[in-house]
Structure 1
Amino acid sequence: MFTIRNVLILAASFALTANEIKAMPSNPEMSAELEQSARKDREISALKRTQEINEALINELRSQIQFQMSIINKLNGNSSINISCFDPTTIQMQLEESRKKFHRQSCQLKDDQLNSSLLIGCIITSEYITHYVVIRYLSEIGTIYVPCDYQLGAPGWMVIQRRIDGAQNFTENWDTYRKGFGYADNSDYFLGMERIHRLTSSRCYELHLHLEFENGSIAYAHYDDFRVSDEVSGYAITVGAFTGNTTDVLRGYDNVKFSTFDRNNENINCPRSGQSGWWFKSCSESNLNGMWNHFNWDSNVLRKSKMLIRPLEIK
């Protein structure tokens, strides 16, 4: 039976216990050790993941080498072998599939090494649509805003170039192309080579070209890899495997440098004759930044064009 005296004694004992606990010295060394242990566990887990992906990449390379060596050995071992037995289309498809697999695994490794919160791409959900993606972590060039595009019916696409009304002059010098220009909201626009380089060097991107020709036809060109080197390297372009309903004009353009009329990196006269900045391998094959009513793809004049990119992991 609890009396008032018992209750007071019990309360006093609780108070004493609380005071004793409060008076107990803290142990920052133990907290630091626990945090350090947790950090080591995370680092070990990340290293194991990296090792697994690296091993997968090595195995894929070995597979490609063995496949190509088997063809070489068969050809060398029998001079009378009918080369037509090796269907070049099949061989090309197998090599291309291996290349794609290797590229996907390389991108996965690259993305795993980045913080997932740094995912850069436009998103669309049932609740909202992002009209711009804000890029802040490229601190060297400050915060930039890249317009989103949902014409393809898929999330993630960012507009890096747009020609729709001729409102913007694309006959600009190197410095202007480096920084970017135009009207990002709803008119002619170019994001800027330095920003494109920073984006495409941060993770793996794909490229989609939307092309509307002067005769009214519409086409697209899609590349599963798109990268631009730094300014020192001339903002050279790299593209991956092609799909589309038009000519694969950029095939063979790997490592072609960007040029403008005041900085000709390929020693050809295209920047002056085309009055623009572009990756020129020839003057007439393609120039999406050419003069209005003269910009073209596969030597055919365009009336509208868009260049879109998105991270490969956004589907």
Structure 2
Amino acid sequence: MLDYLGQVSEELQENKSKDEIIKDLREKLVQQEMNEALINELRSQIDFQKRIDSLTKSNKKCKTELARKSAELDRLNVEMKKLNSSLVEKYEEIIELKKFKLKILKKYEDCQVEKINQNKIFLTKGKSISRYNAKIRNVTKYKKTVELQFKESQAKLLNIEKDNQLCEAENDKLNRELHNNIPLDCSPFESNPGIHAINIPCFGLSDVLCSNISRVEGSWLVIRHQVFGGEENFNRDWATYREGFGSLDSEFFLGLPKIHRMTSSRRHELYVYLIAKDGSIYTARYDDFQISDENSGYALKLGKLFKAYSKGDIKLYEDMKFSTYDRDNDKHKDNCASLNKFGWWYKDCATCERTGLPSNLICGVHVKELTMMIRPI
């Protein structure tokens, strides 16, 4: 038992030694771990210091680089200011250039407008030139026509001179026949009105109508008797009014050359006798009636109006030429003879300014009959 206890005691003693060893080992292990941790910490500190040293070096480098960059930045700022100043100047130049461009564009537009206007003017001038060329051609044609007319006028003048010579011979003959009691007017037929033969200068023995229908004593030679709306057509051409037409016992016109020859050989007075549709009578008497030759358009001369023997505002115009539908000698824009349907010494046309009615020779009166009579003074 004692042996067993001794054995157990020995074993316990051995176990106690082992525990102490284990404890010591554990303490050593812990110390070793602490040492390793410390070593690791030291190593970390060493590494950290190295890193700090490295960072310090890097920081120094960074500071150096930063200083260099700051200096560069300052330089760049100076450059930037210069660039900004230059940019402002360039911007102002650009604004000026834009203004200049706008002026150029405005001038260009003005030039385009002027070009268009010049083109229009050119076209107008071209048309004008064309018209002038046409006028020149027309003038050339007109010149040739005038030359032909001049030659014809010369031929007519020669014929007129021959006619004048014949007329003078006829006048001499009339003067000789005057002594044989052949009348030159209607004065011998005062008590015997009607159709009679007289000697008309340059025409010889001619039938005329002698009348005493006026309120003035004496016999008058009728040169025109017209019934408006009658059977005779007074809308005749120039040649017909020159030759005369109609019938002496009804309506007629004696002929412009005969009237010219009679009134140019001696002074005559004119008596105009109008009968209106309502039966009213209007008259006019002039003391120096004469018409010119054909070259002057058979222009009208009247002399003074005898107011004591006149009634109404009969429209006769001094110095007016005779007009027909084919020979417009009036002062109106239209052909009055064509509008009124009869030849006359027109100045203006039918409408009376006071009444607005067709005048038919007298303002506001619708004329039924017209009689024109002459006699020598």
Bucket of the pairwise TM-score, normalised by the shorter protein: 0.5 to 0.7
Contact in 2 for aligned 1:261/1:272 (Cα 8 Å) = yes
Contact in 2 for aligned 1:156/1:311 (Cα 8 Å) = no
Structure 1 equivalent of residue 340 of structure 2: 274
Q: Cα 1:222–1:267, aligned 2, differ >3 Å: closer, same or farther?
A: closer
The question of 1:227 aligning with 2:293 is answered no
Q: How far off is 1:142 after superposition? A: 4.3
Q: How far off is 1:151 after superposition? A: 1.4
* Partner SS state of residue 185, structure 2: coil
Q: Cα 1:135–1:124, aligned 2, differ >3 Å: closer, same or farther?
A: closer
Contact in 2 for aligned 1:238/1:255 (Cα 8 Å) = yes
Structure 2 equivalent of residue 308 of structure 1: 373
Q: How far off is 1:263 after superposition? A: 0.9
User: Aligned letter for 1:167?
Assistant: E
Structure 1 equivalent of residue 319 of structure 2: 255
Q: How far off is 1:198 after superposition? A: 0.9
- Provide, for residues 34-93 of structure 1, a one-character-per-residue CA deviation record: whole Å limited to 9, x for no partner: xxxxxxxxxxxxxxxxxxxxxxxxxxxxxxxxxxxxxxxxxxxxxxxxxxxxxxxxxxxx
Aligned-partner Cα distance in 1 for 2:301–2:359: 25
Q: Cα 1:296–1:137, aligned 2, differ >3 Å: closer, same or farther?
A: closer
* Partner SS state of residue 273, structure 1: helix
> Which has the higher mean CA deviation after the structures are superposed, 114-123 or 256-265?
114-123
Question: RCO (CA 8 Å, sep 6+): is it higher in 1 or 2?
Answer: 1
User: Aligned letter for 1:176?
Assistant: T
The question of 1:198 aligning with 2:264 is answered no
Q: Cα 1:248–1:274, aligned 2, differ >3 Å: closer, same or farther?
A: closer
The question of 1:160 aligning with 2:228 is answered no
Contact in 2 for aligned 1:122/1:130 (Cα 8 Å) = no
Structure 2 equivalent of residue 129 of structure 1: 192
5 Å-filtered alignment, 1:109-188, equals 115=175, 119-124=184-189, 129-139=192-202, 141-152=203-214, 154-164=217-227, 166-185=230-249, 187-188=250-251
Aligned-partner Cα distance in 1 for 2:321–2:351: 15
Contact in 2 for aligned 1:285/1:297 (Cα 8 Å) = no
Q: CA RMSD in A?
A: 2.5
* Partner SS state of residue 337, structure 2: helix
* Partner SS state of residue 216, structure 1: coil
Q: How far off is 1:155 after superposition? A: 2.0
Q: How far off is 1:240 after superposition? A: 1.4
Contact in 1 for aligned 2:237/2:324 (Cα 8 Å) = yes
Q: Cα 1:305–1:267, aligned 2, differ >3 Å: closer, same or farther?
A: closer
Aligned residues: 187
Structure 1 equivalent of residue 101 of structure 2: none
Structure 1 equivalent of residue 328 of structure 2: 264
User: Aligned letter for 1:246?
Assistant: G
User: Aligned letter for 1:144?
Assistant: S
Q: How far off is 1:205 after superposition? A: 0.5
TM-score (norm 1): 0.54
TM-score (norm 2): 0.46
Structure having the larger proportion of residues in strand: 1
Aligned-partner Cα distance in 1 for 2:340–2:231: 18
Structure 2 equivalent of residue 297 of structure 1: 362
Aligned-partner Cα distance in 1 for 2:208–2:189: 15
Unaligned runs of 5+ in 2: 1-173, 353-357
* Partner SS state of residue 215, structure 1: coil
Structure having the larger proportion of residues in helix: 2
Contact in 1 for aligned 2:291/2:299 (Cα 8 Å) = yes
Contact in 2 for aligned 1:261/1:271 (Cα 8 Å) = yes
Aligned-partner Cα distance in 1 for 2:297–2:278: 34
Q: How far off is 1:167 after superposition? A: 1.6
Which structure has the bigger radius of gyration? Answer: 2
Contact in 2 for aligned 1:123/1:130 (Cα 8 Å) = no
Q: How far off is 1:136 after superposition? A: 2.9
User: Aligned letter for 1:136?
Assistant: N
Q: Cα 1:177–1:303, aligned 2, differ >3 Å: closer, same or farther?
A: same
Identity %: 37
Q: Cα 1:279–1:137, aligned 2, differ >3 Å: closer, same or farther?
A: closer
Q: How far off is 1:278 after superposition? A: 0.6
Structure 1 equivalent of residue 91 of structure 2: none
Aligned-partner Cα distance in 1 for 2:318–2:361: 19
Q: How far off is 1:131 after superposition? A: 2.5
Q: How far off is 1:119 after superposition? A: 4.1
Q: Cα 1:285–1:183, aligned 2, differ >3 Å: closer, same or farther?
A: farther
